Structure 1
């Protein structure tokens, strides 16, 4: 027996991706992953930050400080 990808052999539909939300201010992204947003991996967790929060905290981001320090 061969399994189909994404668990489709279970009769259910694949899970829809959750909307992307800024980890700092909570702004929701429109239309997928905006190219102006920043992605950071902190303690093994991927976090996304909107363009406004990214700009406001650019020096901390470049200094590789975790967002808890901003």
Structure 2
């Protein structure tokens, strides 16, 4: 699979394992990962289940 990477900013994790502080979203049948900073900045949109293209 490769190293975990944030779908918004591109920050990479240190391994294939998703860091516990990151958020996971399923959008359009794809699994997207968001680093802790991007997840924190967009928490209201995530909780509202808004697709990341609208953030």
Aligned pairs for 1:10-25 (under 5 A) are 17-25=1-9
Q: 2:11 matched to which residue of 1?
A: 27
- The higher radius of gyration belongs to 1
Structure 1 stretches of at least 4 aligned residues deviating more than 6 Å after TM superposition: none
Q: 1:55 matched to which residue of 2?
A: 40
User: 5+ unaligned residues in a row in structure 1: which ranges?
Assistant: 1-16
Tell me the TM-score normalised to structure 2 length. 0.93
Cα displacement (A) at 1:33:
1.3
Cα displacement (A) at 1:39:
0.4
Aligned length: 54
Quote the RMSD (CA, aligned, Å): 0.8
Tell me the TM-score normalised to structure 1 length. 0.74
User: 5+ unaligned residues in a row in structure 2: which ranges?
Assistant: none
Which gives a bigger RCO, structure 1 or 2 (Cα 8 Å, sep 6+)? 2
CA distance, structure 2, for counterparts of residue 66 and residue 22 of structure 1: 15
